[in-house]
Amino acid sequence: MAPADDRRRVARLREEIRRHNRLYYEQARPEISDAAYDALVRELRALEARHPELVTPESPTQRPGGRPARAFAPVAHRVAMLSLDDVASTAELRAFAGRVARALPGARVGWVCEPKVDGLGVALLYRRGRFARGATRGDGRVGEDVTRNLAALRAVPKRLRGRLARVGDLEVRGEAFMPRAAFETLNRALEAAGAPAFANPRNAAAGSVRQKDARVTAGRPLDVFLYEISHAPGHALASHWEALGALRRAGFRTSPLNRRCPDVDAAVRYCERLARGRARLVYDADGAVVKVDRLELQRRLGRTSHHPRWALALKFQARQATTVVEGIRVQVGRTGVLTPVATLSPVRLAGVVISSVTLHNEDEIARKDVRVGDTVLLERAGDVIPHVVGVVRARRPRGARPYRFPRRCPACGARAARGPEEAHRLCTNDACPARLKERLRHFGSRRAMGLDGLGGAAVGRLVDRGLVRDVADLYRLRAPRVARLPGFARKSAENLVGAIAASRRRGLERLLDALGVPGVGAHVARLLAARFGTLDGLARASRAELARVPGIGPVLARSVVDHLADRRNRRLLARLAAARVGAA
């Protein structure tokens, strides 16, 4: 059996990775660099390899991406849109090629290399050559139906040409992206109109595709590069390279930088050449993708539940800049985690202005010895999210003092405790207003109960005025009382209360995900809802009963039982059940 320390670390890593998946895939506002995220995933994989009994179907190592947002109708992908395994060096790329060769004894393996364009993954369905549906990647299993928006783009052909036009059901995949120059022009126009600007081209592409009004999408400078034929019954294509050619002849755009490489040496040279020339690319790219060319060999290699075994992403080295730490503030999360954030002198890094960056936890600040007034080296690994690489000690001002992490919650003043094996300090007050606000924001988010109108400002007003003290209080709100709050009018109050009432029918699966039970994400919530049916049935379940549910296991069963055994949590569940929340 795995030691208790490793079990706790696995649980913490999974929670942290899931949070970053939600921020990246669902909200398009990631908080850490690709390199920092990859380090978390590698640590989790190493622990799971050491203790296979801890592996669950819900683990981020077994499932790609995040859950799709709820603003659009869900679309089940015919073939899962998986993530890519990634490496940071050409030595690791060569090791991958070696594993492929050993898995295919006697086969001559060729490769196709492509830029890893940083945008939004999309799947396009055509029936007899006519565009029928467009979807986002979502969690890889279920995406969002954005057909009208994608149909508004000139880069998405409405009728195909050539042999692919004769395929009955054809699904192709690609990346919707915004060129850097177009991104800068769009942001200037948004700022001139008094609208918020996008943080980077990827966020701009994701936000533009997810517009409620397709006319807005049509007016955005988006492009789409296709990179895969995912479903084409009866096609006679033998290689990925042939598939790319067929896509071009059908009327799609593919990257002009795609190259066919006869061996891994040629693939390495391609990746090195692309990395040297990345600054000259007209779009953001955070690496190169290397794929086995022959489709029959791809089928033999297969895939995991997370990524194909025949493809790999080689991530670019990060870009860097220096700036000054103007202050350090501490944010409080819904689970009580205190996260330090550095306020920076604004600096432009890889085309984006950076004014703040997470410092992760108390130990990270101490290890890097970050102080207010310090000049720090920032890095945008993967060209997405910045992080502090280190302090430029030679430029430290006189009198700069080591940062003292608060021993009390900055929001409520309660003790901020830290266990011997924990990386973070935690606010010990379950009634902390900052924790409550974050719990409410999570509960009402699109991936959870989908409460339109319950944004950060609305949550703040409801909590600060004492109308809501837990999520069950939401179901007691009345529109006339809400309308009297600052920032609300009669219509917006009625819309919010109506959305809350409608959420009663979201079902037990969505409710369990919304409650934030440790270890319970969308997949586990679905298993528990299917097995126990009601909140009361789940609350009465023993650890042994939970552990017998396929895909749960004893570690997760203990986590769920411990959470539900808490007296406050039981009272909350009883109030939600009385309000008939979670009924299908």
Active site residue 116: yes
158 confidence band (pLDDT: 50, 70, 90) = very high
CATH of range 4-54; options 1.10.760.10, 1.20.1600.10, 1.10.287.610, 3.40.50.720: 1.10.287.610
Is residue 492's pLDDT more than 80? yes
- pLDDT, one tens digit per residue, over 88-132 is 899 999 999 999 999 999 999 999 999 999 999 999 999 999 999
Q: Which residues pair with 303 in a beta bridge?
A: 308
pLDDT at 384 over 70: no
Task: Work out the burial of residue 321: count CB atoms within 10 Å of its CB; fewer than 13 is exposed, 13-18 middle, 19 or more buried.
Answer: middle
Write out the two tokens for 173. Answer: 């995949």
Residue-averaged pLDDT of the chain = 89
The answer to whether the CB of 332 falls within 8 A of the CB of 430 is no
Mean pLDDT, range 416-423, rounded to an integer: 86
Higher pLDDT, 447 or 330: 330
> Strand order in 311-315's β-sheet?
86-87, 311-315, 285-292, 111-117, 259-261
Q: What is the pLDDT of residues 18-50, one digit of tens each?
A: 877 777 655 555 666 565 677 778 788 778 777
Over residues 235-241, mean pLDDT: 92
Is the predicted pLDDT of residue 334 greater than 70, yes or no?
Answer: yes
Res 191: pLDDT: 80
The CA-to-CA distance between both ends of the chain, in Å, stands at 39
Tens of pLDDT, residues 288-314: 999 999 999 999 999 988 899 999 999
Residue % of the chain over a pLDDT of 90? 59
Helix (H, G, I), strand (E, B) or coil at 509: helix
pLDDT score of 140 more than 60: yes
Which CATH class name applies to 74-315? alpha beta
* Average pLDDT over every residue of 355-371: 93
Question: What HEC string does 186-233 produce?
Answer: HHHHHHHCCCCCCCCHHHHHHHHHCCCCHHHHHCCCCEEEEEEEEECC
Catalytic-labelled residue, pool 116, 291, 315, 437: 116
Structure tokens at 135: 């979807």
Q: State mean pLDDT over 177-185.
A: 93
Domains of the chain by residue range: 4-54, 74-315, 319-395, 433-578
At residue 17 the predicted structure's pLDDT band, cuts being 50, 70 and 90, is: confident
319-395 fold:
OB fold (Dihydrolipoamide Acetyltransferase, E2P) (2.40.50)
Q: CA distances (Å), 457 to each of 19, 336, 338, 411, 453, in order?
A: 21, 20, 21, 16, 9
The DSSP 8-state label assigned to residue 389 in this structure reads E
pTM for this entry: 0.55
Do the domains at 319-395 and 433-578 have one common CATH topology? no
Q: Nearest 5°: phi and psi at 123?
A: -120, 130
> Where are the strands (E) in 400-490, listed by range?
416-417, 426-427
- Position 27 scores a pLDDT of 58
Q: Does domain 433-578 have CATH number 3.50.50.60?
A: no
Name the pairing type of β-strands 311-315 and 86-87. Answer: parallel
Q: Read off φ and ψ for residue 89, nearest 5 degrees.
A: -145, 155
pLDDT of residue 173: 97
Return the pLDDT at 68.
46
Distance CA 117, CA 288 (A): 8
Calculate mean pLDDT across residues 269-283.
Answer: 93
Reported as half-sphere exposure (CB side, CA atoms, 13 A), residue 6 has a value of 16
